[in-house]
Structure formats: structure tokens, C-alpha cells
Amino acid sequence: MRPPEFWRHRGFLSGVLLPVSWIYEAVGTLRRRRISPWKAPVPVLCIGNLTTGGTGKTPVAIALAEMLKERGRSPHFLSRGYGGSVTGPARVDPERHTAKEVGDEPLLLSRTAPVWIGGNRAATAKLACDTGADCLVMDDGFQNPGLAKDYSVIVIDGPYGLGNGRVLPAGPLRESLRAGTARAQAVILIGEDEHSISAKLDLPVIRADIAPLDIRDLAGEKFAAFAGIGRPGKFFESLRAMNCNLISERAFPDHHEFSAREIREILALADKENATAITTEKDLERIPTEFRVKIDVLRVGICWRDAAAPGALLEGLLADG
């Protein structure tokens, strides 16, 4: 689903839903207090967020896992496998699995390190440890109490911030800022801090940007852009920042399963305007295989504003591991 517009402001509808938000947060708090988490024999790094929708967790998880590998470690990813039919716990096989089976994000993560999916984070962690993981990177799962985290990082999208600052369904927060930051060790702020989030935090803030990894000069190129991610507008903005000529911008809900008809429509429009269809890496995993060779992809990754900051974060994680 797309985030409702009222999540950005404290209007009438948000106020009406506040009592439900209080119940939602109370249930989440009670659940975390009642469950005794399993402690893994290896360090566990959780990359989480406080809001629904895309904040940049997966690119951050990939970047930090790459840094762990550079330090001689053997990280494995843990993921819920959102949107997939395989309930797990199971190891993702990119040669066999599809996004419909295991979700789109696990397939992206599998290009960097082994990935285990399943709603039971303790069970997936045990399997990963049994098969050679010497550290675990959780892509999401910050609010899941089943597995003890040694180091938790909250990822915040600077331009979006925390919306209206209220908890679901009155706002976009999974839990309050105070409750979430009390269990975290650092915040990674992606993009410009347009809502002065840093000033509200008592945690170290690591600044970063999501930047294109594409070394091609795309300025002036004509594209029919489309995306089904948490915030498609960020993808379109990246293309415009590269001076691409966007003949169309089509946004779909997050994790949207593209139909052949939808892709044919986009390709037909691109062909009519002598343009190229372009999307994100994550979206490509949900496009019928026969169309993928006809669609361009903009690869993006994390660019750290302070190159030393993420290394210091990992040293804290591995100090006792």
C-alpha cells in the first residue's frame, strides 16, 4: 500500500485514530517484554527503522555486510522474506528462488552474502550459525523480540523524517521515537535532515546518501521510469538529478507484483517516445523474466558522508565477537 497523505500531518483523521495507536503500541511493548529472546553465539547487527515504507535499510545492510567481509568476517543475512510464499526458515537460492517465493529484498541481499528467511528470527539465526556464519546482519526485525541484538541501527529517511510522529494507524511509526531509540545504539540518517531529526536524538547519528552506482552518463537520455518501492519519488528524483529526460513516472505500491500487461504498457509508451523503460534493482526481481532484458536498471548504493563512521560502528559490534 502507499502511505496515506494524512500520515504527514496531525489532522482530524490522525487524531481520531490516536486511541487505536495507543493500543497498537501497548500490545507491541507487552509482546517485547513477555518474550525472552534467543542469544546467538555470534554478533548480531540489526538494521531497522521506526516507520513503515522504504528508508534505505537494504542498501545499508548490504554496505555494512560488505565492510564486514573486508574485515575477514563471514556475515549471513536474516530477512523476513516479505511478500514471499516460502515461510521458512530457509536459505535463499538465487538460482532457484523467485521474488514471489522469497521476496525481492532477499534476492538482492544474496548477491553479497548468504540469506536466510523466516518469521522466526531465532530459528533462522540458528541455521545460519550452524552453516558457517560468524556474524549476522538483520535486514529489518528491529521490533521483533525473538532474537537478541548486540547492536541495533535505526535508518531514517531525512526528507520524509518521522511523518506526523504518531504510531500506526494514526501515523507511520511502528513505535514511538522514545521507545525505539532506547533500544538502539546509533541512527543512520539518509539524505538531508529536512525535519531536524538529529536534534531530537541522544544517539550517534551517521550521515549517508543513497547514490547511483551507475558510471554511465545518462544526461539527456529519455526514460519511462517506474517503481514499486516504499517511496518511488526518491527513484524519480535520482534520475532527474542525473539530468535524465523522464517522459513518464509511474509509481506502484511497495513490493508490487508486476503483471505482463503493466510491463507491456510501459514498454509500449517507451517505444512510442523513443525512450527506454527504467526501474530499480528491487523492482526488476518482480518483473516477469521475459521482459527483463528490455528494461534498464539504475543501481544505487550507500555513500557515507564520513567514511570512518561506519567502520567505528562495526568495531563496536565486533569488539566482543
List phi, psi (to 5°) of 116: -120, 135
- Print the domain residue range for 280: 214-298
Cα angle 216, 99, 190 (rounded to 5 degrees) comes to 50
Q: What is the pLDDT of residues 103-132, one digit of tens each?
A: 999 999 999 999 999 999 999 999 999 999
pLDDT of amino acid 290:
96
Task: Note whether 102 and 116 are same-domain residues.
Answer: yes
| Secondary structure (DSSP) of 125-178 | HHHHHHTT-SEEEEES-TT--SB--SEEEEEEETTTTTTTS-BTTTSSBSS-HH
pLDDT of amino acid 54:
79
Task: Note whether 247 and 195 are same-domain residues.
Answer: no
pLDDT bucket at 232, cuts 50 / 70 / 90? very high
CA trace torsion 221, 225, 229, 235 (10° rounding): 30
Task: Note whether 242 and 133 are same-domain residues.
Answer: no
Q: What is the pLDDT of residues 138-157, one digit of tens each?
A: 999 999 999 999 999 999 99
Task: Note whether 98 and 232 are same-domain residues.
Answer: no
- 82 grid coordinates: 516479505
Q: Which residue has the cell 500506526?
A: 168
Q: What is the pLDDT of residues 171-180, one digit of tens each?
A: 999 999 999 9
Task: Note whether 174 and 265 are same-domain residues.
Answer: no
- 173 grid coordinates: 511509526
pLDDT of amino acid 3:
79
- Mean pLDDT taken over the chain: 94
pLDDT bucket at 239, cuts 50 / 70 / 90? very high
CA–CA distance, 117 with 81 (Å, rounded to integer): 5
CA distances from 8 to 21, 197, 217, 241 (A): 15, 15, 35, 25
Task: Note whether 218 and 204 are same-domain residues.
Answer: no
Q: What is the pLDDT of residues 62-104, one digit of tens each?
A: 999 999 999 999 999 999 998 889 988 999 999 999 999 999 9
Task: Note whether 150 and 246 are same-domain residues.
Answer: no
Examine residue 169 and say whether the peptide bond preceding it is cis (omega within 30 degrees of 0). Answer: yes
Asked if pLDDT for residue 297 goes beyond 80, the answer is: yes
pLDDT of amino acid 318:
87
Q: What is the pLDDT of residues 24-57, one digit of tens each?
A: 999 999 999 999 999 999 999 999 999 997 789 9
CA distances from 302 to 96, 163, 208 (A): 28, 23, 7
Domain count, the chain: 2
Single out the residue of 44, 27, 58 nearest to residue 146, CA to CA.
44
Q: Which residues contact 39 (CB under 8 A, 6 or more apart)?
A: 148
Task: Note whether 96 and 14 are same-domain residues.
Answer: yes
CA–CA distance, 250 with 321 (Å, rounded to integer): 46
Single out the residue of 126, 155, 131 nearest to residue 44, CA to CA.
126
Task: Note whether 220 and 313 are same-domain residues.
Answer: no
Task: Note whether 115 and 151 are same-domain residues.
Answer: yes
* Contact by Cβ (8 Å): 193, 37: no
SS3 state at 292 = helix
- 196 grid coordinates: 531536524
The whole-model pTM stands at: 0.94
Please, what sign has the CA dihedral across residues 215, 220, 221, 222? positive
Task: Note whether 101 and 198 are same-domain residues.
Answer: yes
* Contact by Cβ (8 Å): 158, 51: no
Asked if pLDDT for residue 1 goes beyond 80, the answer is: no
Task: Note whether 203 and 286 are same-domain residues.
Answer: no
Q: What is the pLDDT of residues 162-197, one digit of tens each?
A: 999 999 999 999 999 999 999 999 999 999 999 999
pLDDT bucket at 230, cuts 50 / 70 / 90? confident
pLDDT of amino acid 53:
79
In CATH, what number is assigned to the domain containing residue 190? Answer: 3.40.50
- 245 grid coordinates: 529526460
Examine residue 94 and say whether the peptide bond preceding it is cis (omega within 30 degrees of 0). Answer: no
